[in-house]
């Protein structure tokens, strides 16, 4: 099973009115966690980056001036993920996947279905209703540190998510043969 673990940064919380400004991803074969391919890009939005987003992510509007367009960035991400890869994002079914779907619609990109795992489902399967299931809470339970990585920068978050998914997956399904949680479905740009 090939996994594409990814994270987005956006101009706000609504996939209907806000835009993607950063995509970072790593691709691994389940069970081969030390052989990682990486992808990252800024994305040039049509709207200005709000000050609170710059404060949270460190991403300024000027950082994005020469970045690829949303169409280019999403197509490149889709090529990186490839056919048959299962996408994993933290809170991905409520946040990341709707942003990809709405951005594809907004920019007229044809889409293809893809399997998705929301890593919060891994957390819930391990720890049930105890405590929160945000990335910081998961990392704390796993004894992981964000030291040296900037939180809310997709590049740093995806590295931390890779470590978290690896440890949770290993606890839930030591043989790595299949997903330890049910797969959901989402869409990414079609490669045709």
pLDDT tens column, 140-184: 999 999 888 888 899 999 999 999 999 999 999 877 777 889 899
pLDDT for position 131? 77
CA angle (11 as vertex; 134, 74 as ends), nearest 5: 90
Q: What is the CATH number of the domain that holds 133?
A: 3.30.420.10
pLDDT for position 61? 92
- Please state the domain count of the chain: 1
DSSP-assigned beta bridge partners for residue 35: none
Q: What is the pLDDT of residues 87-140, one digit of tens each?
A: 999 999 999 999 999 999 999 999 999 999 999 999 999 999 777 899 999 999
Supply the range of the domain harboring residue 21.
2-189
The HSE-up count of residue 10 (CA atoms within 13 Å, CB side) is 19
Tell me how far apart the alpha carbons of residues 183 and 96 are, in angstroms, rounded to a whole number. Answer: 15
- How many C-beta atoms lie closer than 10 Å to residue 161's C-beta? 25
Q: How many residues does the chain have?
A: 192
């Amino acid at each position: 099973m090939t996994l594409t673990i990814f994270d987005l940064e956006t101009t706000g919380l609504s996939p209907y009115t806000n835009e993607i400004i950063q995509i970072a991803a790593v691709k691994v074969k389940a069970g081969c966690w030390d052989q990682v391919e990486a992808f990252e890009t800024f994305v040039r939005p049509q709207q200005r980056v709000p000050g609170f987003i710059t404060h949270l992510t460190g991403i300024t509007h000027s950082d994005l001036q020469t970045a690829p367009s949303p169409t280019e960035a999403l197509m490149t991400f889709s090529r990186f993920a490839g056919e048959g890869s299962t996408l994993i994002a933290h809170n991905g079914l409520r946040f990341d996947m709707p942003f990809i779907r709405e951005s594809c619609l907004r920019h007229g990109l044809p889409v293809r279905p893809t399997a998705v795992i929301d890593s919060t489902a891994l957390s819930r399967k391990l720890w049930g209703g105890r405590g929160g299931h945000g990335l910081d809470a998961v990392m704390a339970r796993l004894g992981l540190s964000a030291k040296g990585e900037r939180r809310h920068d997709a590049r740093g978050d995806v590295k931390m998510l890779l470590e978290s998914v690896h440890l949770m997956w290993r606890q839930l399904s030591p043989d790595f043969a299949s997903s330890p949680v049910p797969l959901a479905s989402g869409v990414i740009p079609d490669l045709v």
